[in-house]
Structure 1
């Protein structure tokens, strides 16, 4: 069993660590509480360290903070995907969201995983006024769970009580906002939750976008439940079906990552496999690390190696 040996720092070294923390705090607008949480030190202890007083043994805090600084340096060196790429599919999603918000109407966006739905939703919400992404999960399937998820997305302070009181609170917050509620992974919501959201958006006169996989469309149109959702389905003003990434989507990613034609052809093959654009991005990120480690320009050779490393090629 090996143990980690740590050495005591001089007062000058400790002050240099404090200065690095302050520089990051100022540059990124981080609170001391946030940094303490990332470092893994209680805020009061971290505050004493940063103020330079009140700690009998400063060494554990110094070592933890130094590891945090080192990890941030390593993370900054990792290749990262562009935060948002305006692919043709992303533009279709964006247009549907914009229509729903401007018209106060309902949009249904559905399709397979890995085509860029969630990334586009969050980009829209960050770019436009009064658009909120509600992340649906199995725990938000019911009316109460769904309303709590919406309240969280709106930044409302929730108090214990009945679902109808929370519904009124949300409605009052939305009314007059000209906003858009975006429910991501809406296939998790049950019939009553979907109807509640539909009626809530209608009463508040805001747009509503239901986004999910193919299940959410089948849920509204197929089988014995179709009649239950007839009222909701008839109110959908725009439908966007996303089956798989287009060639233009892959080309947009290839351009953003600055890869050549041979690499783009390989990426299109990857995009046709399960994982779609998500698999493309993972392969590009790992391939960039391979290329950087070899001090080479990113090429299809690195992408093939990355795709194999991800377990997708023999």
Structure 2
């Protein structure tokens, strides 16, 4: 599905553009689960030509740098060394690396990303849940974290919930079509935790599935109720 430019996605694009132009080219996009962080990351890739990598629990510094090198087109033996040591041609365009799930990185990996931004002409956009204060408490790592925070500065964006109108225009209408019933729109908005992007997309897709099964041209209250019951039950099972 086409990525929608919600106000939060627009803000994320704005801080990414700032990182491309800044002396300290590191930006940060945070937000809760389902707030649309990865959607924003993919939009940055699409609009600004960035390269995206995703982290996992336990990823090492070397694994991170290897993925970064591959994403930036540096492959083969010694790719990490060439990423870190090769001189960037004078006047070369700055590259951009979007690091999704960055909250899973340890301080060594974050230091490596800071080096890429400081020395290798790579703009870095960190995407993930807020994690700094909880993860780094030691005297040494705390100082490194403060250095990273200073480089990020004001280049920060936090994803949040959409209001009712945005939920309709960016989620419900694109997935399920026009809906003139304001009560249904309001109920949908409440049903996806008042505009949570992930919950909204899941609920809308379930509505669309039920509409297709029953060959309905438009969303109605019965379909929405059935979709809400399914999603509520699924979330209850997950807990």
In the superposition, the TM-score normalised over structure 2's length comes to 0.81
The structure with the larger Rg is 1
Say which of 219, 223, 229 aligns to 1:298. 219
User: Does the residue aligned with 2:143 lie in a helix, a strand or coil?
Assistant: coil
Paired residue for 1:242?
Answer: 159
Structure 1 equivalent of residue 187 of structure 2: 266
Match for residue 199 of structure 1 among 111, 115, 118:
115
Instruction: Quote the Cα distance in structure 2 between the aligned partners of 1:242 and 1:136.
Output: 19
Superposed CA offset, 1:144-186 (max 9, x none): 0110110222232232x595455325x7499822222211111
**1:124-144 CA distance string (max 9 Å, x none):** 212223x1112111253x220
Deviations, residues 98-148 of structure 1 (Å, cap 9, x unaligned):
22123352211111111111122112212223x1112111253x2201101
Mapped contact 2:74–2:82 kept (Cα < 8 A): no
Distance 1:163 1:181, change over 3 A: closer
Does the 8 A contact of 2:30 with 2:130 survive in 1?
Answer: yes
User: What is the CA distance between 1:198 and its match in structure 2?
Assistant: 0.7
Is 1:125 the counterpart of 2:41? The answer is no
Q: Which runs of 5+ in 2 are unaligned?
A: none
Post-superposition Cα deviations, 1:61-116, rounded to whole Å, max 9, x if no partner, equal xxxxxxxxxxxxxxxxxxxxx32111122111111112212335221111111111
| 3-state SS, counterpart of residue 181 of structure 1 | strand
Instruction: Look up the SS of the partner of 1:158 in the other structure.
Output: coil
Q: Which moved more, 1:174-183 or 1:224-233?
A: 174-183
Aligned to 1:148: 66
Where in structure 2 are the equivalents of 1:1-314 lying within 5 Å? Answer: 82-103=1-22, 105-129=25-49, 131-140=50-59, 142-159=60-77, 161=78, 163-168=80-85, 172=88, 176-216=92-132, 218-219=134-135, 225-237=141-153, 238-251=155-168, 252-257=170-175, 258-260=178-180, 261-272=182-193, 276-296=196-216, 297-310=218-231, 311=233
**Structure 2 CA distance, aligned partners of 1:240 and 1:101?**
15
Query: RCO higher in 1 or 2 (8 Å CA, sep ≥ 6)?
Result: 2
| 1:217-260 alpha-carbon deviations (Å, 9 max, x no partner) | 6446x675433311111111312223544445413323323334
**Offset at 1:263?**
2.6
Summarize the Cα distance change of 1:211–1:285 in structure 2 as closer, same or farther, 3 Å threshold: same
Residues in 2 aligned to 1:175 and 1:182: alpha-carbon distance in whole angstroms? 22
What is the TM-score of this pair, normalised by structure 1?
A: 0.63
Change (3 A) 1:157 1:313: closer
